[in-house]
Amino acid sequence: MEKNLAGDLTQMPKWRKVAYGGMQIGYDDNYTEESFLEEMVMNANIVRRDLLKVMKDSVSISQYLCIVALVVLVWVHTLGSSLDENSLLLLDL
């Protein structure tokens, strides 16, 4: 309760969390209630990863990407006639 200029007691409206609602009447622009951060949970969904498993998975992904790049390069050079049949047989070994 606050006193206004006439000395009457006035009821302040209840403060509420508003993200984009602008100022609330009776409160400063930067006012935050003491209970504002009580519901906040920090790092609730952290997943611990095994470093060795992550490294193994990244190696297999890199291997697949290299195979795709190699197939595309062989295909382009074969179409451009810069690789002949003998060279392709040597690559097959």
Q: Which residue has the tokens 């409160």?
A: 27
Residue 62 has pLDDT above 60, yes or no: yes
pLDDT value of residue 64: 96
Please list, in sequence order, all residues whose beta carbon lies within 8 angstroms of the beta carbon of residue 49, skipping any fewer than 6 positions away: none
Q: Does residue 14 carry a pLDDT above 80? A: no
Average pLDDT estimate for 38-57: 91
Q: Count other C-beta atoms under 10 Å from residue 33's C-beta.
A: 12
65, 68, 70, 85, 93 from 77: Cα distances, Å: 18, 14, 11, 12, 18
Question: Stretch 40-44: mean pLDDT, rounded?
Answer: 87
Closest CA to 17 of 40, 41, 33: 33
Write out the two tokens for 88: 């392709």
Copy the structure tokens of residue 54: 């992550």
Residue 16 is predicted with a pLDDT of: 65
pLDDT, average across residues 23-40: 75
Here the tokens at position 43 are 């790092």
- With a cut of 90, say whether residue 12 has pLDDT above it: no
